[in-house]
């Protein structure tokens, strides 16, 4: 792993990465306060339960309400990944029930699907404008630029999508991608279009052991900051799975010990670091999503939640 320069690492460890001072002129601020409390310790939320998946069937409003009430124990800011019916239901329930949640609204971008992408863009714009007090920012695309992406999209198209969204809403606009895109010079062109950068960094997927994970996260963000000085960074995904399949790529890459006890340790470490430095972090994720990955029940993609898919807590 390439190491960050010592000064930037020092600044990051002392709370400068992610602070409001790291905005270029013209950036729209990503507001991370609610009732005078900092809400930057946030969570990624996939609402689909067993037997559900994106594209249908979708969770009911009652099921989403149950999820939101569970998540309120730990978080007041959530991130979704697409502008679909479930996203609208989340916002409707938050507003109707006056729940203390704010949302980073996603736009799902798929390679070679311009019609679907434009539908996502139009719907996200509508939601951002319909719920301006709830949608704090819009994230256009998820892991579309990193070289290993299964839905890699052209940079020119993505920039066009970003410009379309930003021209139509008042909230800040970002793009989420892996650190292995944001730490490369080709990311600068995209970064110049954004109000802040949303960075994914998963120590487990990068072969790290639990005891080295927090330091690796800190150094990884510092490396991205070195390439994008003066820019606000949001850690859009990090976490620790509770199961890994013993076959395939995940068995080779995910060498750390997985389980509920290990997840709890990293969760608490990351939460304390974020609180002390005011580094915005979206923990991945709230609930297990069994629709993901392959047929094996142990597949790592199914087991990142703090809650199981039946909504029972893995640890307390």
In a domain, 177, yes or no: yes
In a domain, 192, yes or no: yes
Rg (CA), the chain: 18
pLDDT level of residue 23 (50, 70, 90 thresholds): low
pLDDT at 26: 86
Return the CATH number at 105: 3.20.20.80
Exposed/middle/buried for residue 16 (C-beta within 10 Å: 0-12, 13-18, 19+)? middle
pLDDT level of residue 4 (50, 70, 90 thresholds): very low
pLDDT level of residue 36 (50, 70, 90 thresholds): very high
For residue range 208-223, what is the model confidence (pLDDT) as tens digits? 999 999 999 999 999 9
Report the distance separating Cα 220 and Cα 236, nearest Å. 13
In a domain, 308, yes or no: no
Question: Angle at Cα 180 formed by Cα 143 and Cα 11, nearest 5°?
Answer: 115
In a domain, 313, yes or no: no
Report the distance separating Cα 241 and Cα 61, nearest Å. 28
Is the pLDDT score of 7 beyond 50? no
In a domain, 21, yes or no: yes
| Residue in 177, 174, 179 with CA at minimum distance from that of residue 196 | 174
- For CA atoms 240, 245, 248, 253, give the dihedral sign: positive
Q: What percent of the chain has pLDDT over 90?
A: 91
pLDDT at 12: 40
| Residue in 157, 148, 140, 238 with CA at minimum distance from that of residue 197 | 140
Q: Which residues pair with 281 in a beta bridge?
A: 41, 235
For residue range 254-292, what is the model confidence (pLDDT) as tens digits? 999 999 999 999 999 999 999 999 999 999 999 999 999
For residue range 64-90, what is the model confidence (pLDDT) as tens digits? 999 999 999 999 999 999 999 999 999
User: Does the pTM of the predicted model rise above 0.75?
Assistant: yes
In a domain, 261, yes or no: yes
| Residue in 232, 246, 293, 311 with CA at minimum distance from that of residue 19 | 232
- Number of folded domains that form the chain: 1
In a domain, 316, yes or no: no
Domain span holding position 75: 6-302
In a domain, 264, yes or no: yes
């Amino acid at each position: 792993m390439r190491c960050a320069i010592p000064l930037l690492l020092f600044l990051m460890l002392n709370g400068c990465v992610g602070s409001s001072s790291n905005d270029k002129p013209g950036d729209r601020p990503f507001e991370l306060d609610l009732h005078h409390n900092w809400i930057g310790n946030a969570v990624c939320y996939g609402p689909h339960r067993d037997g559900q998946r994106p594209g249908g069937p979708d969770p009911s409003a009652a099921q989403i309400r149950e999820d939101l009430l569970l998540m309120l124990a730990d978080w007041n800011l959530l991130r979704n990944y697409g502008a679909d019916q479930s996203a609208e239901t989340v916002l409707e329930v938050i507003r109707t029930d006056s729940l203390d949640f704010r949302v980073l609204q996603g736009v799902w971008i798929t390679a070679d699907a311009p019609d679907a992408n434009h539908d996502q863009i139009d719907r996200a714009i509508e939601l951002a404008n319909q719920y301006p007090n709830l949608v704090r920012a819009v994230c256009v695309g998820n892991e579309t630029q990193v070289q290993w992406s299964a839905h890699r999209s052209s940079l020119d198209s993505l920039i066009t999508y970003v410009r379309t969204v930003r021209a139509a809403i008042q909230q800040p606009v970002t793009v989420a991608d892996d650190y292995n895109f944001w730490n490369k010079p080709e990311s600068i062109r995209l970064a110049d279009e954004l109000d802040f950068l949303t960075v994914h960094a998963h120590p487990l997927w990068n072969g790290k052991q639990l005891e080295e994970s927090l330091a690796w996260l800190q150094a990884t963000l510092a490396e991205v900051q070195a390439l994008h000085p003066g820019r606000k960074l949001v850690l859009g995904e990090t976490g620790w799975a509770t199961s890994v399949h013993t076959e395939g790529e995940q068995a080779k890459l995910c060498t750390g010990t997985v389980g509920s006890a290990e997840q709890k340790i990293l969760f608490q470490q990351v939460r304390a670091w974020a609180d002390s430095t005011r580094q915005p972090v979206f923990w991945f994720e709230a609930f297990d999503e069994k629709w993901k990955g392959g047929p094996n029940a142990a597949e790592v993609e199914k087991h990142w939640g703090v809650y199981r898919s039946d909504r029972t807590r893995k640890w307390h």
